[in-house]
Amino acid sequence: MERQAGYDVTRALSHAMAGLCAQLDVPFLSVWNPLLAHPSWCAEIARGDGAHPAGGGYAALARIIHGWPAWRKWMGPLP
Protein backbone atom coordinates (compact mmCIF):
# COMPACT_ATOMS: atom_id res chain seq x y z
CA MET A 1 0.00 0.00 0.00
CA GLU A 2 2.80 2.43 0.89
CA ARG A 3 4.58 1.80 -2.43
CA GLN A 4 1.34 2.47 -4.35
CA ALA A 5 0.92 5.74 -2.47
CA GLY A 6 4.46 6.71 -3.52
CA TYR A 7 3.64 5.84 -7.12
CA ASP A 8 0.49 7.95 -6.96
CA VAL A 9 2.44 10.94 -5.64
CA THR A 10 5.13 10.53 -8.30
CA ARG A 11 2.52 10.22 -11.06
CA ALA A 12 0.75 13.36 -9.80
CA LEU A 13 4.02 15.32 -9.62
CA SER A 14 4.95 14.24 -13.13
CA HIS A 15 1.56 15.34 -14.43
CA ALA A 16 1.84 18.70 -12.65
CA MET A 17 5.36 19.26 -13.97
CA ALA A 18 4.20 18.46 -17.51
CA GLY A 19 1.46 21.07 -17.20
CA LEU A 20 3.81 23.70 -15.85
CA CYS A 21 6.35 23.03 -18.60
CA ALA A 22 3.62 23.31 -21.22
CA GLN A 23 2.56 26.70 -19.79
CA LEU A 24 6.16 27.90 -19.89
CA ASP A 25 6.84 26.39 -23.31
CA VAL A 26 9.66 24.29 -21.86
CA PRO A 27 10.26 20.74 -23.10
CA PHE A 28 9.25 18.01 -20.66
CA LEU A 29 10.10 14.34 -20.86
CA SER A 30 7.77 12.10 -18.93
CA VAL A 31 9.76 9.05 -17.91
CA TRP A 32 7.11 7.63 -15.59
CA ASN A 33 5.43 5.11 -17.93
CA PRO A 34 8.59 4.04 -19.80
CA LEU A 35 10.38 3.32 -16.53
CA LEU A 36 7.46 1.41 -15.04
CA ALA A 37 7.47 -0.75 -18.18
CA HIS A 38 11.23 -1.40 -17.91
CA PRO A 39 12.11 -4.70 -16.18
CA SER A 40 15.47 -3.52 -14.77
CA TRP A 41 14.01 -0.36 -13.27
CA CYS A 42 11.13 -2.22 -11.60
CA ALA A 43 13.26 -5.06 -10.30
CA GLU A 44 15.88 -2.74 -8.88
CA ILE A 45 13.49 -0.39 -7.12
CA ALA A 46 11.71 -3.43 -5.65
CA ARG A 47 15.02 -4.67 -4.21
CA GLY A 48 15.92 -1.23 -2.86
CA ASP A 49 13.96 1.49 -1.15
CA GLY A 50 11.06 1.41 -3.59
CA ALA A 51 12.07 4.58 -5.40
CA HIS A 52 15.72 4.39 -6.42
CA PRO A 53 17.21 1.70 -8.68
CA ALA A 54 20.76 0.45 -8.96
CA GLY A 55 22.97 0.96 -12.03
CA GLY A 56 20.79 -0.95 -14.48
CA GLY A 57 17.75 1.18 -13.71
CA TYR A 58 19.71 4.40 -14.08
CA ALA A 59 21.14 3.11 -17.36
CA ALA A 60 17.57 2.61 -18.59
CA LEU A 61 16.74 6.19 -17.58
CA ALA A 62 19.83 7.48 -19.38
CA ARG A 63 18.82 5.67 -22.58
CA ILE A 64 15.35 7.22 -22.44
CA ILE A 65 16.82 10.70 -22.00
CA HIS A 66 19.51 10.14 -24.63
CA GLY A 67 16.88 9.24 -27.23
CA TRP A 68 14.67 12.26 -26.48
CA PRO A 69 14.76 14.72 -29.42
CA ALA A 70 14.76 17.81 -27.17
CA TRP A 71 17.85 16.47 -25.38
CA ARG A 72 19.60 15.71 -28.65
CA LYS A 73 18.79 19.23 -29.92
CA TRP A 74 20.17 20.82 -26.76
CA MET A 75 23.30 18.66 -26.65
CA GLY A 76 24.04 18.98 -30.35
CA PRO A 77 25.07 16.29 -32.80
CA LEU A 78 26.88 13.21 -31.64
CA PRO A 79 30.64 13.25 -32.24
pLDDT digits (tens, 9 = 90+) for 33-42: 899 899 988 8
Helical segments of 1-79, H only: 2-24, 32-36, 39-47, 55-66, 69-75
The pTM of this model reads: 0.80
Q: What's the one-letter identity of residue 18?
A: A
pLDDT value of residue 78:
67
pLDDT value of residue 51:
81
Q: What is the mean pLDDT of residues 10-16?
A: 91
